[in-house]
Amino acid sequence: MRDQNTIEDNESKQEKWNRGLDLFIESVLKPDPSLRQCAHNQKCYHELMDVRQDVLQKLKSMRWH
């Protein structure tokens, strides 16, 4: 993830929330090979991916409109 540009100070709390949410969603989407290897070793990789999907669904529902 690369910082794109500076944001103006006059944004609403909703815009800031949504941007923070987007960054968090990116962090959930970003593959973590070490974590995934641990899940394979502990034989819970598919469960980890299921939890990931559930969390992503919840996160997407948290967006302010």
CA distance 35 to 23: 19
Give how many domains the chain has, as a whole number: 1
Q: Is 6 domain-assigned? A: no
CA distance 7 to 29: 23
| 8 A C-beta contact, residue 19 and residue 7 | yes
User: In this model, does residue 3 exceed pLDDT 80?
Assistant: no
Q: Give the domain extent around 26.
A: 13-61
Two structure tokens written together for 8: 């103006």
**Where is pLDDT greater, at 9 or 11?**
11
Residue 42 is predicted with a pLDDT of: 98
Q: Is 52 domain-assigned? A: yes
Q: Quick one: average pLDDT of 20-35?
A: 96
Residue 7 is predicted with a pLDDT of: 74
User: In this model, does residue 1 exceed pLDDT 70?
Assistant: no
Q: Is 1 domain-assigned? A: no
User: In this model, does residue 35 exceed pLDDT 60?
Assistant: yes
Q: Compute the Cα dihedral for 42, 43, 45, 48 and give only its sign.
A: negative
